[in-house]
Amino acid sequence: MRPKREIHVTRPWLPPKENFLRYVDEIYASRQLTNRGPLHDELERKLGERLETEKPLLTANATLGLILALHALDISEGEVITTPFSYAATVNAVLWERCLPVFADIRADNLTLDPDKVEQAITRRTRAILPVHVYGIPCAMEPIQYLADKHGLKVIYDAAHAFGVKLGGKSLLANGDVSVCSLHATKLFNTAEGGLILVRDPQTRHRLELLRRFGHHYDDYQEPGINAKFSEPHAALGLACLDHLGEIIASRRELTAWYDQRLIGLLQRPSWPADLEYNYAYYPVLFKDEEQLLRVFQALADIGVYPRRYFFPSLNTLPYLNGAAACPVSERSARLAACLPLFPGLLEEEIEEICRVIKERL
């Protein structure tokens, strides 16, 4: 049975229109569209409360958040050790700050940065480590922090997928010198476009605040910043979505259980700790080989279903990174990994059909 609609890997969640328009009415009343308006400040405060962290800093997007974090920590013209199994934004942020990305391979069990490979990659030019909580699965944070302390390095977490994830009761965003999370339309909590930065050091936070708004406060110009400001319309969408966060995660948890019931033992899944409070942002699987993955993708496309290869190709193989070291685990994982459709509103019979096609093509 062909699904009655095209099904993509995700679909942006939108709040009830009347909830959003209530905040839009406030924008019309205030006539403030940007520059730290009242909705912006309210969203920052509420996000800090919801995430049980320091109040975050909102940015126009998470890529700018990573660039700002590198800049605020004075990571420039050195080496930054990062993962090859991520979206291109991770490595592009390093390149934009004129640093050299050095790839360390990943762990096969959970696809996050391997601390042993990180240690082997450290040189006298290394300035920072930039790990990624892939799919919201936590990196080996204690070993990474140990290496950073031992070698005097900064740790910036690309936590794009980690909104709402807790390990041992503590938010993943509260680790490292800086964590950067994405609020893009494809994420489980979205503001259409946006990002947030978590930082503990007050001086670094102050600098980040300046850098995101051109480096000045009124007529007090302190350094050359950029425009990474977050607008009031985006804040309105975020506030309208935030009240529904519990039901969004609950829906994704239920969808995940439906997949698990039908695919258990058929496809490999990345592992995560038992005490992880997960956000169910993705449903990642690993196929036996690339031929099997492509066969399944074609069969699903034939019925209008479109999963995605998150993440392909392995970043160390990008054409503008000539000479990057081989990362065999990442390169293999990139050929085998995919995320199946997962979003509130996906129906059980649609998951049933997706899983039927997968089983037939394995």
- pLDDT average, residue stretch 93-117: 98
pTM (2 d.p.): 0.96
Pairing of strands 178-182, 154-158: parallel
pLDDT at 3 over 80: no
Which pLDDT belongs to residue 1?
Answer: 65
Residue 306: what are its φ and ψ, rounded to 5°? -130, 90
Residue-level pLDDT at 83: 98
* 218-230 residue pLDDT tens: 899 999 999 999 9
| Matching residue, tokens 């005490």 | 275
261-288 tens-digit pLDDT: 999 999 999 999 999 999 999 999 999 9
Q: Reduced to 3 states, what is the DSSP secondary structure of residue 337?
A: strand
Element (H, E) at 217: strand 216-217
Half-sphere exposure of 63 (CA within 13 A, CB side): 12
Q: What is the pLDDT of residue 280?
A: 98
Calpha distance 43→38 (Å, rounded): 9
% residues pLDDT > 90 (the chain) = 96
Q: Report, as an integer, the average pLDDT of 100-127.
A: 98
The single-letter code of the amino acid at 74 is D
In this structure, of 122-126, 132-136, 323-327, the range with the lowest mean pLDDT score is 323-327
Tell me the three state secondary structure of residue 199.
strand
**Dihedral angle at the C-alpha atoms of 134, 181, 10, 8, nearest 10 degrees?**
-70
CA 217, 218, 221, 226 torsion: positive or negative? positive
Token look-up 């258990």 returns 264
Round to whole Å and give the CA distance between 208 and 200: 12
pLDDT tens column, 64-94 = 999 999 999 999 889 999 999 999 999 999 9
Tell me the mean pLDDT in the region 38-56. 95
| Sign of torsion over alpha carbons 317, 321, 325, 327 | negative
